[in-house]
Amino acid sequence: MFSRFNQLARHLSRPFPNYAHTSAAALASRVQPLTSMTSSATFHKNKSKTIHTAACLIIVDTNSAYFARWCFSLGIALKRIEVIADDEDEIIEGVRRMSSKYDFVVTSGGIGPTHDDITYASIAKAFNLPLKLYEPAFERMKKLSRPNQLQPGFSWDEPSPALTARLRMVEVPYDESVDEDKQNVFVADDSWVPIATVNGNVHILPGVPRLFEKLLDGLKPVVTPRLADPEGNGSYRVMISTPLPESSVAAYLTDLALKVMPHGVKVGSYPRWGKKRNTVTLVGANKEYIDSLVPEVEKNVEGRRVQREDEDDPADA
């Protein structure tokens, strides 16, 4: 599965600067002081600025590939993905750093009912915020949750360990300087899970893939007006399969990259280890211009345009 994700990530954008997380200690000196991170002004600034870049902090779960496709479809440059454990220090360091560097940040996972689901509490601590029961989410939870056969005596009105566990999932970071409804949004009528927003650009999502995907897709109408291209046309990608080794086409692709850079087009070259054909990509927003480049590129790399990178692999490979 990891290799499939690598293939996907290579073609959805340029390689991310670093998939592995950097330790909190190594980066502590580059993170802004805690007291200066959160305020009403910062929240509204981050909440309203044009979105060019994005990052994703995965707490144990794996929704990286879907988020990469989602960003690509909207033309957002996905700059960083990090996978970390359920560790308070790691979450605090990662989310503060990403919030300060990128326009749109998503976290995935760690908001369940158990003791090790610490994302809400850790992100609240990262921005010096308290946790608060979000009543609209609690009311939706009561309305939409199905009875649990393993808890026959459960009551929404009587204190119990089971109720405490449920409440953990609707106690979200709360900034008293910002209207509560601006900090939380519901994007699916059949779900009680809110998308909590902290510091204006950190969006806390669940790790369950089906729910993560539903809520992320539901966030599109909120995000689209803030894109550099509000039409949401996203990026356009062409793949060209070549039998030539990367060293043989490097000089041509270097010249090509300089030529197309003013048009917002990126040229990629990806060796496929152990395969007889490699892949050249053209990525950008100008579909007509990119298509006009294809004949020239096909000629210079002795290849052809394909829909899948393995399309021209020998049948016996």
Span 103-158, pLDDT tens digits: 999 999 999 888 889 999 999 999 999 999 999 999 999 999 877 766 778 889 89
pTM equals 0.71
Domains recognised in the chain with CATH numbers: 40-148+156-226 (3.40.980.10), 236-306 (3.30.70)
Cα-trace Rg, the chain:
22
CA–centroid distance for 250 within its chain: 31
Tokens 């390689």 belong to which residue?
Answer: 15
Residues 10-61: tens digit of each pLDDT: 444 443 333 334 444 344 434 444 544 567 888 988 988 889 889 898 886 6
Residues 203-260: tens digit of each pLDDT: 999 999 999 999 999 999 999 888 877 765 678 889 999 999 999 999 999 999 999 9
CA–centroid distance for 171 within its chain: 23
The residues, any chain, with a CB within 8 Å of residue 118's CB and separated by 6 or more, are: 86, 88, 91, 110
Tokens of 227: 């894109």
Residues facing 236 on adjacent strands: 284
Tokens of 16: 């991310």
